[in-house]
Chain A
C-alpha cells in the first residue's frame, strides 16, 4: 500500500493543542534523554526516578526546586511583557543584579535604621530593588525610544556594567573582612521563610521556600491581567503586532518603549531583591546561575503566557536542582537542550496539520 504524508496549513488552532504539544515535547525530550543515557551506559529508568526524587521527592526538595523557580517566574514574566512588544530585553540578568544592589543598599548604607519594623524594611527593599532594576531597564528603553539604539546590544552590555559595579562594592566598600561578599544581613531584612515557622509546625523545619514565590505568582497574575484586560496591554499587543498600525491608531510608541522596558527591568529587579533577601541574605559575587538568561527561554517556551511561565519555571528549576545531584552534571544541561529543541520543533504541529494518506485511494 502506497502511503504519503500530506502537510496542510492549519486555519484554526484548537485551544487544547498548544498545551498538549508543549507537554508532549517535554515527554519526548525525557524519552530521548533516556535513550542517550542508555547508550552511554546509564540506567535511564533509575536515573529518571532519581531525578524526580531529587526534584519533587519530598517537601524539602520540592521547596528547594520552588526556591530556584521563584526568580525564574519573576524574570520570565518580566521578559514576557517586553517580548510581547517585540522589545528584546536580554538584560534581565543585569536588572536582577541592579535590583539586588538596590535592595542591599537599604541594609548596608543603611537607608533606614535597622531597628525599624520588618515590614517597612522589606517593603523598602522591594521598592529599591524595583527602582534600580527599573533604571537598568529605563536606560536602554530611553536610548531606543529617543535615538533608535538597538536594545539588544545595550541591555546585554549593561549586564556587565552592573555586575562589575556590584563587584566594586563587595570587594571594597562593603567587603566583609576582605571576603568578596558583604556581611550577612540582619534577620530583619530576610524575607519570611516557611522554616521560620518550624516552632509552631514541625514539618516546616528546613523548608526554605520564602515569600518571593508569592511575588512571582502575583507578578504573573498582574501581567496576565494587563495583557488580557488593560488598555496598556492592548497597546503593547498592537505595537508588537504592527507598530505602523499602532502609530496610526494614535499610540505613542516611544513612551511605551520606555514604560515597558522600565517595567520589565523593575520586575527583574524585584527578582534580584527576592533572591538577596530570601535566599542569599547578603550581596555577593555570584548570586545568579544565569537566571536572567534562563528567564528568556522560560518566557518563550511559555509562549509569553504569564500563567504558563509558572510550570515552565518549575521544570527548569528542577533541571537546575537535578544538575547538582545527577552525575555527570552535564546530563541536566543535555536535557535542557533537548527540551528546547523539542518545544521549538513542536511549533510545526501548531502551524501545520500532518496527515498520512493512502495514495492508492487518492487516485481512485
Chain B
C-alpha cells in the first residue's frame, strides 16, 4: 500500500538456459519517470532479464511486480497489456509495408486494412508529442536504421506502453541519430514514461541515465545506483571486475613504403547512387590509416572496392599491382585481409563449425589444403591453436559459429584474418557492439599487427578508437575524402566539421 510503487520491481530473478545460469537472483527496480541504464558486457544477461520482463522468457524463480501488482507473464501480449513495450536490438518490421501498417500490425483495430488515413493522424500526434518524426506512409525499406528504430518506438507507444525497454538502441545509430534518440528519451520521461536502457557504452550511461544497474555474468554488481558522482572508470570496474585501460599505448615508429594506393576511385552503391567520389588514399607499411565519418557516407563501399566485393572506376594497387575489379580472390592472393562490417552476414557461416570458419581464407593453401582434399586434422589443430591464442570462448571447435557471442565471433574473425599474415588489412568497425574487455583485446591485436609491419585501413565510427589507434585520420563525407590529418595533432572539432561535409581548411 505504498503511495507510489515503483514502475517495475524484479526480485530474485533466476533464469537458466541449459548449461548457463543467465540471471542469478537478479534485482532491478525501475522508478516511475526515470531512465534506468542496464549495463553489462556481452553475455552478462541483460537482454535475458529484459526478455523476462517483456514476457518472452519465464523466470525459473523470482517475482516481477509492475506498478505494485504481482504479474506472471505467459506471452509478450500479457506484458503489453501491463504497459510494457520492448524495442529489440534487431527490428521486427515488415520491410515492404508502410510505417502505419507496421504500427497497426497485430492489433485488433483496424480489422481490415481499409482506410489507414485516419490512423496516420493518430500516429502523427504521437510523433509530435515525443519528437519521433517519420513519414507514416513511407515503406520501411526506404527508411534509415535510425528511422526504423523510431517506428519501433512508436509501435510500443501506440500500444499504450508507459514502460519502455530499449535493447542496445544506440548500437546501430550514427552519432547524430544517437543525439536525437537521447532527446526523445528525455522528452518521453518528462511525460511520465519510464525507460530501461540496455547498453554497454559507458559514455551513454553517464550522459543520459538517472540510475544504473550493472550486471556481470548474470549477477548484479551495482543495484540501481544514482548516477550522481559515478565515474566512467568506476562503472567500467563494476562491469568487467577490473580497471579498464582506456588509453592504449601506441609506439611511434618509422613508416615504410606505400603498400596500398587508391587513385581517383569512384563507385556506386546498391541503389545505383554515387557512394565514392574520386577517392585517393595511400597506406604505408606499419601504418594505421583511420577513416572517420558518419555511418553511410561511403565507408562500406570503400571496404568493398578494396576487397573485390564491389567494382569501381579508378585504380587500387597493393604493392604496385592492380587489384580492383577482379573477383575477391585477387585481393586475398595479394595479401589483403578483411574484417567485414557485418560479422554474421558476411564474416562467418553460422551453422558451420569453428574449424570450418577459421579455414575460410586458408583452405586452399598447404598445409590445410592438400590438392583436392582439405586436411581436417591439420585444420582442427590450427583452429584449436587459434582458439587458445585469441582466447575464443566456445565449448569446442565443432561448435557452430552462430552460437558464439558477438565478441567471441569477432575474435574468431580477427584470429583468422590476422593469422593469414596480411600485407594489408581492411578493418571495418572492428569493435562495434563489443564490450570493454573485448574492445581492449581487439585494439591490442590491431596495434600488434601494425607493429609487425602490416598496413591497416581502419574504418570506424568511434572517434575514440580512431584517435587511439590511427597514425593518420582521413575523414569521409558523402563519398569524398574531406581531409587527412596526423592523429597526433588532430583537433576533434576540426574532424567533426569535416564529418559534416566541410573541407579541410588549408593553411
A238 touches B373 (CB 8 A): no
**Contact A11 B338, CB 8 Å, known A234-B374, A242-B345:** no
B376, A229: Cβ atoms closer than 8 Å: yes
Residues of B within 8 A of A250 (CB): 308, 327-329, 331-333, 361
CB closest chain-A residue, reference B361: A249
Nearest Cβ on chain A to B502's Cβ, whole angstroms: 35
Residues of A within 8 A of B373 (CB): 229-231
Q: A231-B372, A234-B363, A250-B327 are in contact. Are A245 and B403 (CB under 8 A)?
A: no
Tell me the minimal C-beta distance from A305 to chain B in angstroms.
Answer: 15
Partner of A248 from B60, B346, B350, B395 at Cβ < 8 Å = B346
Beta-carbon nearest neighbor of B359 in chain A? A234
In the complex, the chain A residue whose C-beta lies closest to that of B373 is: A229
- The answer to whether A231 and B346 have CB atoms under 8 Å apart is no
Contacts of B395-420 to chain A: CB distance below 8 A = 395, 403
Contact between B328 and A242 (Cβ–Cβ < 8 Å)?
no
Give min CB distance, B480 to chain A, whole Å.
26
Q: Please provide the chain B residues from 291 to 343 with a CB less than 8 Å away from any CB of chain A in the complex.
A: 307-309, 327-329, 331-333, 338, 340
A232 within 8 A of B: yes
> For the complex, is A241 an interface residue (Cβ under 8 Å from B)?
yes
Please tell me if the beta carbons of A248 and B327 are within 8 angstroms of each other in the complex.
Answer: no
* Chain A residues in 8 Å Cβ range of B18: 8-11, 353
Residue A238 contacts which of B19, B307, B332, B356 (CB distance < 8 angstroms)?
B356
Whether the pair B347, A245 counts as a contact (CB closer than 8 A) is yes
Are B374 and A231 in touch, CB under 8 angstroms?
yes
B residues less than 8 Å from A10 (CB atoms): 18
Which B-chain residue is minimally distant from A353 (CB atoms)?
Answer: B18
Instruction: State whether B363 touches A248 (Cβ < 8 A).
Output: no
Bound Cα distance A135, B307 (Å): 34
Query: Which residues of the other chain, B, contact A230 by a CB distance below 8 angstroms?
Result: 372-374
Total A-B Cβ pairs within 8 A: 79
Instruction: Name the one of B348, B349, B369 contacting A231, with C-beta atoms under 8 angstroms.
Output: B369
Q: What residues of A have a CB within 8 angstroms of the CB of B395 in the complex? A: 12
Most A-side CB within 10 Å, residue of B308, B327, B338: B327
Contact A245 B372 (CB under 8 A): no
Instruction: Report which residue of A11, A230, A242 has the largest number of chain B beta carbons within 10 angstroms of its beta carbon.
Output: A242
Tell me whether A248 and B338 are in contact in the complex, defined as CB-CB below 8 angstroms, given that A8-B18, A11-B17, A237-B356 are known contacts: yes
Q: A237, B352: Cβ atoms under 8 Å?
A: yes
A150 proximal to B (CB < 8 A):
no
Report the bound CA distance from A247 to B361 in whole Å. Answer: 11
Interface string of A226-261 (1 = CB under 8 A from B): 000111101001100110111111111000000000
Q: How far is the CA of A11 from the CA of B404 in the complex (A)?
A: 12
> B385 at the A/B interface (Cβ < 8 Å)?
no
Residues of B within 8 A of A251 (CB): 329
**Given the contacts A10-B18, A234-B356, A234-B363, A248 and B372 also touching, CB distance less than 8 Å:** no
What is the number of residues of chain B that contact chain A, defined by CB distance less than 8 Å? 36
Q: Which residues of B contact A229 (CB under 8 A)?
A: 373-374, 376
Shortest C-beta distance, B380 to chain A (Å), equals 13
**CB of A236, distance to nearest CB on chain B (Å):** 11
Asked if B360 lies at the interface with its beta carbon under 8 angstroms from chain A, I say yes
Taken together as a complex, chains A and B put the C-alpha atoms of A353 and B17 apart, in Å, by: 12
B345 touches A231 (CB 8 A): no
Tell me, rounded to whole Å, the shortest Cβ–Cβ distance linking B8 to chain A.
22
B226 at the interface (CB under 8 A from A): no
Compute how far the CA of A362 lies from the CA of B14 in the bound complex, rounded to whole angstroms: 13
B364 is an interface residue with CB less than 8 A from chain A: yes
Residues of B with C-beta under 8 A to A8: 17-18
Contact flag A238-B372 (CB < 8 Å), given A247-B309, A248-B309: no
Task: Give the residues in chain A near B60, CB-CB below 8 Å.
Answer: 362
Partner of A252, one of B327, B340, B369: B327
By CB atoms of chain B within 10 A, which of A8, A247, A252 has the most?
Answer: A247
- Report the bound CA distance from A122 to B350 in whole Å: 45
Q: Scoring A residues 321 to 364 as 1 if CB is less than 8 Å from chain B, else 0, what string do you get?
A: 00000000000000000000000000000000100000000100
Instruction: Give min CB distance, B193 to chain A, whole Å.
Output: 33
- Min CB gap B469→A, angstroms: 23
A237→B349 CA distance, assembly (Å): 9
For residue B350, which residues in chain A have a CB less than 8 angstroms away from its CB?
241-242
Known A11-B19, A238-B352, A241-B351: A252·B329 in contact at CB below 8 Å: yes
Question: What's the Cα separation between A248 and B373 when bound, in Å?
Answer: 21
Known: A10-B18, A234-B374, A250-B361. A245 touches B348 (CB 8 A): yes
Cβ-neighbour of A249 out of B19, B345, B360, B372 (below 8 A)? B360
Among A245, A246, A247, chain B packs the most CB atoms within 10 A around the CB of: A245
- B19 to chain A minimum Cβ distance, whole angstroms, is 6
The CA of A232 and the CA of B331, in the complex, are separated in Å by 21
For the complex, what is the distance from the CA of A244 to the CA of B307, rounded to whole Å? 13
Complex: A8 Cα to B359 Cα, angstroms: 32
Q: Are A245 and B346 in contact (CB under 8 A)?
A: yes
Q: How far is the CA of A246 from the CA of B347 in the complex (A)?
A: 9
Q: Are B349 and A242 within 8 A (Cβ)?
A: yes
Complex alpha-carbon distance, A209 and B373, angstroms:
34
Closest approach, in angstroms, between the C-beta of B365 and any C-beta of chain A? 11
Would you give the shortest CB distance from A81 to chain B, in whole angstroms? Answer: 15
Complex CA–CA separation, A192 to B122 (angstroms): 79
Docked Cα-Cα span, A9 to B16, in Å, equals: 12
* CB-based nearest B residue for A238: B349
Which of chain B's residues 363-396 have a Cβ closer than 8 Å to chain A?
363-364, 369, 372-374, 376, 395
From 8 to 26 in chain A, residues with beta carbon under 8 angstroms from any chain B beta carbon are 8-12
Known: A10-B18, A11-B403, A245-B349. A238 touches B360 (CB 8 A): yes
Chain B residue numbers with a CB within 8 Å of A252 are 327, 329
Q: Which residues of A contact B364 (CB under 8 A)?
A: 231
Return A364 CB to nearest CB of chain B, in Å: 10
CB pair A248–B328 under 8 Å, yes or no, is yes
Are A248 and B352 in contact (CB-based, < 8 A)? no
If the complex has contacts A230-B372, A231-B363, are A248 and B349 also in contact, measured as CB distance less than 8 A?
A: no
A248 and B307 form a contact (CB under 8 A): yes
Q: Once the chains are docked, how many angstroms separate the CA of A167 from the CA of B373?
A: 43
Give chain B residues whose Cβ lies under 8 Å from the Cβ of A249: 328, 332, 360-361
Q: How far is the CA of A63 from the CA of B347 in the complex (A)?
A: 50
B309: which A residues are within 8 A, CB to CB?
A: 247-248
What A residues does B356 contact at CB under 8 A?
234, 237-238
User: B417 → chain A, closest Cβ, in Å?
Assistant: 11
**Closest residue of B by beta carbon distance from A241:** B349
Give residues 242-283 of A contacting B (CB, 8 Å): 242, 244-252
> Which residues, 262 to 305 on B, are CB-close (under 8 Å) to A?
none
List of B residues within 8 angstroms of A241 by Cβ:
349-352
A10 CA to B403 CA in the complex, in Å? 12
A234 to B363, CA, bound (A): 9
Q: What B residues does A244 contact at CB under 8 A?
A: 345-346
* Cα distance, A11 to B398, chains bound together (Å): 13
User: Could you jot down 15 A-B contacts, CB within 8 Å?
Assistant: A9-B18, A10-B18, A229-B376, A231-B364, A231-B369, A234-B374, A237-B356, A241-B349, A241-B351, A244-B345, A245-B348, A247-B328, A250-B308, A252-B327, A353-B18
16 other contacts beyond A241-B350, A242-B349, A244-B345, with CB at 8 A cut-off?
Answer: A229-B374, A231-B363, A231-B372, A234-B359, A242-B345, A244-B346, A246-B349, A247-B328, A248-B309, A248-B346, A249-B328, A249-B332, A249-B360, A250-B328, A353-B18, A362-B60
B interface residues with partner A (beta carbon < 8 Å) = 17-19, 60, 307-309, 327-329, 331-333, 338, 340, 345-352, 356, 359-361, 363-364, 369, 372-374, 376, 395, 403
Closest 10 CB pairs of A and B: A250-B329, A241-B349, A249-B360, A242-B349, A250-B332, A250-B328, A244-B346, A245-B349, A11-B18, A248-B346
